[in-house]
Amino acid sequence: MSRSDQGWRMVGVLLFVGGCGGSFGVRPLDGGIGTALSLLCFLVTLAGVALVVQGKRVPLAFRIEHSRHRNLPLILHLRRRNRR
């Protein structure tokens, strides 16, 4: 595992711990604001779990998905299939 991958996984651990701690911190709040903050903490926790499990693949996938060339593998595959 590279240092970059370990760094992303550590960011995931920090997000996970922060999301869990934040959800316990907003429990005493009543009304809609407490619910909204709990949902936000839940999303932060899920992002942390994804980073812990996948490491640097998560930001790489986002970068590829938002790139102009995200359909390039599909286009190459279709060209190769049509050549036969």
Position 74 pLDDT exceeds 90: no
Provide the domain count of the chain: 1
pLDDT digits (tens, 9 = 90+) for 5-28: 899 999 999 999 999 999 888 888
pLDDT digits (tens, 9 = 90+) for 41-66: 999 999 999 999 999 888 888 888 88
Query: Could you tell me the CA-to-CA distances from 51 to 25, 32, 45, 71, 78 in Å, in that order?
Result: 23, 29, 10, 24, 32
**Domain limits at 16?**
3-83
25 versus 30: the higher-pLDDT residue is 25
CA end-to-end distance (rounded Å), the chain: 40
Supply the pLDDT for residue 45: 96
| 46 token code pair | 């899920």
Supply the pLDDT for residue 51: 93
SS3 for 37-70 is: HHHHHHHHHHHHHHHHHHCCHHHHHHHHHCCCCC
Supply the pLDDT for residue 1: 80
Residue 41 near residue 19 (C-beta atoms within 8 A): yes
| 67 token code pair | 């790139």
